[in-house]
Structure 1
């Protein structure tokens, strides 16, 4: 088990690597591009594993994903992974203007085509013929050569986890994942052979622990407003609290959203409060973390960039403890 964090910027990242952080990841959204951020990550780290966790799979062609990774590999050989996520139906349709149907089958093909570009040797055609993609590229310039960059899939529910186990090198778990969800749903579907990365909602503040706990509750509540996670909610028997937090979300009452997150939900999902509390929670959750890399992820819902940076710096105490 190695620990890391979502990219906190060069300053905190240097401290984090010195403290023992083994990996950094970046995401994809309307105000930040994962590959642009990955350039900064490569330039400001020395040893850590780096990659998107995740990049929206369908907002770019497989060619675009692969060429970005190929260029960055030249600066950080052996340190990269590529995490892809299907994204929500409405995001694909309304933001990107791309087909949003059959995301599981579509992302499986995406992985195949990305690999075709990453593993192409010089002098070989890049060829692929599938339902969603085709390629017949004769690249005459000597710029290729096989790269074995791991491709991971963000997988929440059973079907995507099974697809990750079948076509990818591993799975990226969501910040909501609990011990039960890993044990009973994700691992049986994905299998034991692949790599496991995952986010852990982490908010540590010795000066204001109650605020940190409140931020973690709000983050959990915000995630659970999405109906995609209904099988997860039913699995844990959390229908009542989730119904209340969704009603609060519709009413714009973020305090009521946080109030609806029970102590059980908080303990099963987050690591938060004072440093001593967070260390104890991390010890209790040893069996509920991804096998390979866990990212201590500060809450982002209604949390300023300054406070997120403070949470990232505070989480270094957890990395130091686990690295000893």
Structure 2
């Protein structure tokens, strides 16, 4: 199982420094999310600041950019990284797309399938100068009189998925699958692997919090679980773990006015233990081993929701130390 990392930085310079430290510790890939920053600009900074590790987006929002823009950015990042770039895409949820980004939310799985087809077609043919046409119901490409006058560096396309529809789509069309940041071994085995195909890169995302005091590790990770428990889309995921009542309590706190990144107090230890890798370094290493034989890659990320920068730095340093031991 490959050990990989999702770096954090209060500045882009610190983000690159963290990515480089993870690479030096033995991380085989570093991944950049799209929430507090864009995905592609930090990926460019990290690609320029690292040497060996793959650089991936985990995930870039598929509908917030046109498929052609996504393809152009992926081609540039593949070139900049010397072929180390992985384009990880996801849909996000309805509220994020419509309210935050002002883009329509219609048949997201079908639209993502067509988006991937356009990205791949454009990347393969943009340098030829020939017309490019991909007709879809929800996404299309019709380009004439265009030629990208640079060599094309290929890149794989990974898709994120939590529910069965998106996970099955990843199994149908993607080179790899990226799990939600909360992904237990049980969910991986029962909810995802039956829908994925052999030979894919199976990337398990794991919110990770390490401290000599397990209670302190749980406290830091609670905000991550609370953030996602406030999103109704993930209700089935929490119910799978027998956490429906606990999720409802968190959602009620959110509806009562708590910030999405301020829900840690509403999260019980049972939820943290089920959905995150929290505890001492030895306990977390044992939890990582539970994915062996099922995942091909694990992506460790520090908790950030509701934490001050100093606490995130501490959490990040402990994860990078663990990567060094595991690698």
- Tell me if TM exceeds 0.5: yes
SS in structure 1 at match of 2:88: strand
Aligned to 1:321: 325
Q: How big is the shift at 1:298?
A: 0.9
Task: In structure 1, list runs of 5 or more residues that go unmatched.
Answer: none
1:257 aligns with 2:266: yes
Aligned to 2:50: 45
Aligned to 1:238: 243
Q: How big is the shift at 1:229?
A: 1.3
Aligned to 2:252: 247
1 CA distance for matches of 2:197 and 2:221? 30
- CA RMSD, 1 decimal: 2.1
2 CA distance for matches of 1:261 and 1:119? 49
Aligned to 1:32: 37
Aligned to 2:186: 180
SS in structure 2 at match of 1:25: strand
1:2 aligns with 2:11: no
1:109 aligns with 2:114: yes
Which string of whole-angstrom CA distances, capped at 9 and with x for unpartnered residues, describes residues 221-279 of structure 1?
Answer: 22122111122222222222222222333343835412x341xx433322223323322
1:292 aligns with 2:296: yes
Is the Cα–Cα contact under 8 Å of residues 196 and 291 in structure 1 kept in the other structure? yes
Is the Cα–Cα contact under 8 Å of residues 222 and 264 in structure 2 kept in the other structure? no
1:70-109 superposed matches below 5 A? 70-109=75-114
2 CA distance for matches of 1:54 and 1:217? 22
Is the Cα–Cα contact under 8 Å of residues 63 and 117 in structure 1 kept in the other structure? yes
- Equivalent in 143, 148, 159 of residue 165 of structure 2: 159
Q: How big is the shift at 1:281?
A: 3.0
Q: 1:142 to 1:271 in 2, by over 3 A?
A: closer
Task: In structure 2, list runs of 5 or more residues that go unmatched.
Answer: 9-14
Q: 1:204 to 1:144 in 2, by over 3 A?
A: same
Aligned to 2:279: 273
Is the Cα–Cα contact under 8 Å of residues 229 and 247 in structure 2 kept in the other structure? yes
- Equivalent in 214, 222, 225 of residue 219 of structure 2: 214
Q: How big is the shift at 1:189?
A: 1.4
Is the Cα–Cα contact under 8 Å of residues 132 and 144 in structure 2 kept in the other structure? yes
Aligned to 1:311: 315
Structure 1 range deviating more: 6-15 or 161-170: 6-15
Structure 1 range deviating more: 241-250 or 174-183: 241-250
User: Number of aligned pairs?
Assistant: 316
Aligned to 2:11: none
Structure 1 range deviating more: 243-252 or 156-165: 243-252
Is the Cα–Cα contact under 8 Å of residues 179 and 287 in structure 1 kept in the other structure? no
Is the Cα–Cα contact under 8 Å of residues 63 and 114 in structure 1 kept in the other structure? yes
| Structure-1-length-normalised TM-score | 0.90
Q: How big is the shift at 1:2?
A: 1.1
Q: How big is the shift at 1:64?
A: 0.7
1:191 aligns with 2:197: yes
SS in structure 1 at match of 2:299: strand
Is the Cα–Cα contact under 8 Å of residues 44 and 80 in structure 2 kept in the other structure? no
1 CA distance for matches of 2:305 and 2:63? 25
| Structure-2-length-normalised TM-score | 0.89
